[in-house]
Structure 1
């Protein structure tokens, strides 16, 4: 009997090879949440201009002068970043995660995806797929302006953040009047803040604080989809571990999006 010829290019990794290269979460055990007020012994830049983004994070973009435009605060296992990276190949994206093992998982995941996609010549992915995404271990509540300069971000994501249910813990919530001033500083006018949660109380909290802040205005989902942001919204809903867990449990998701506006547009 004649042997069946292989139709797949030998240099293209099959699904089994890709699954072997990708890290497995079971090797990166970590608590679900971390106290943002604790001393986590973090290294952080003194200012955004002191970061060599090309050398340390995005070597494929060396010489372009590009800096991150999308930031996922509390990126978890990187689901949003990995989903958006091929959709916006020319946009640099940075995940910020405070937990050691989770950050390491995302770093290893990006490294593996870069390695497999670089040889996938017959794939729909480009040879530079996932070169536009990276992650840092950082406490965004303390050091966000150390990473991003004024008006540098076009999208800022807060997806299924820690709800901190107890009233005495509300000060640890990622949305607060003080922190909103920093978010407004790094967001460019017209940029969008995306929030989503399965906790109605937290949704109301985030929405009310953002709505009260003078440099943000609410924008509905329909408007954003008409503006071409449908792929981003779809990823916000479905790409994260928490989002998938909510779906499995048949829970409800609460979305709230806000646009950064010019200071003169609101009284």
Structure 2
């Protein structure tokens, strides 16, 4: 059996081409070698056997990762995520099922790369459901060109992927969009940045302080204006306008002071006029 451990490990840092060359130097395993190593790992927890299984399939990860370069993500990161999927496949692989590791590992490698692409392609995740994931990874290859799909093409793509036409249209719109910075880089463009649309000007610290100061001055001014009224006028204004519960009626105050409701109305009007003059002074 060829011993993959005798070869130098590919470096995790440095030149990507050097890593790929090192990974390609690991020999492919025969079916008998692969089965023997897999059984040693499964039955004896032999980590050296698991390491040889992983190293001999690094070139598979590199090949699969290359197919996802169109999403604009670093090739090295795609390979790294694929390697995680490969290690998961080795951990779960059962050699007695009659399936080669390469066939079993493809699913796990792609699953990890898919998850990485979906999380990092945009700030906002573009695909969450199973149907959306299928569309995300297949729509580009099924589109005849860079132009938007026609209604007929949309129906054809939906039929091929087994999804609804409106789902195809929605995913095409998502793929055609792009991330937008929340804040503008140039000061002169600041008012056009999304942060300006989202911000609540009333919550801006200086506005809050100004509002608090205004309320304080209004409260102090109101108390000073009330202090300038005689006791009966102050009682009528407070009962009619400043009561926490239901305001008193003219008739209720008339009964309290033993005068007519019209007289209460006159006293109220005169008191409010006097307070207005005090507040505006």
Greater Rg by CA = 2
> Between Structure 1 and Structure 2, which shows a larger proportion of strand residues?
1
Query: Structure 2 length as normaliser, TM-score?
Result: 0.22
